[in-house]
Amino acid sequence: MPMCDAYIPDGALPAKAERALVRRLTELMIEHDGVDPNNQAIQAVAWVLVHRVENYVGGVAVDVPHYRFVCHLPEGQFNEERRAGLTADITRAVADAEVGQWPDPEQRVWVFSWEVPDGTWGIGGKIHGLPEFAALLSPDLRQPAKVYLAARRAEQARALLEAAGAQAPAG
């Protein structure tokens, strides 16, 4: 369910520190997904893909590592508080992994948190939505996930109507 593309320059961190950072990223994504990070079902589908990059700022190669994390969660899992928390926590995790080796990690860590629209997440040769992912955690969560998405769609429709100056239907 949670997935992160981690862009980490080769050699920016010692191997042991990088492995610990990747483990921490996994825990953070699961926590900010609102799930217990010890849940084995979600751990089995929480991926961090490390990409090796060369860093250029303003078209010039830099000696200090810069990081980019693109985190994806199923639709409905982020709100402003969770996005802000994930960004702060990932930045802190990188600073911890660097152990003060380079200055100003908060200026060198970029975090993008995206919700994957329901019905567009494919694995195993087919599309899965939030209800299917919720059922991985517990079969009892499938129906509440369906209700949640329906309510979210209704709220989005009301907001669009209001933005267009139309009156939202009652109920």
The pLDDT tens digits for 143-158 are: 888 888 888 889 888 9
C-beta separation of 38 from 30 below 8 A: no
- Which among 83, 55, 54 is positioned nearest to 71, based on CA atoms? 83
Q: Where residue 142 falls among pLDDT bands split at 50, 70, 90?
A: confident
Cβ neighbourhood burial of 85 (10 Å; 0-12, 13-18, 19+): middle
Task: Enter the DSSP assignment of 2.
Answer: -
Q: Where residue 171 falls among pLDDT bands split at 50, 70, 90?
A: low
In the chain the domains, ranked by start, together with CATH numbers, are: 3-139 (3.30.429.10)
Stated pTM of the model = 0.84
Q: How far apart are the first and last CA of the chain?
A: 32
3-state secondary structure 86-127: HHHHHHHHHHHHHCCCCCCHHHCEEEEEEEECCCCEEECCEE
Is residue 28 pLDDT above 90, yes or no?
yes
Cα–Cα distances in Å, from 156 out to 151, 152, 163, 168, 169?
9, 6, 10, 11, 13
* Residue 170, pLDDT score: 63
d(CA 108, CA 95): 10
44-67 per-position pLDDT tens digit = 889 999 999 999 999 999 999 999
- Which among 155, 133, 151, 154 is positioned nearest to 34, based on CA atoms? 133
81-93 per-position pLDDT tens digit = 999 999 999 999 9
d(CA 56, CA 59): 5
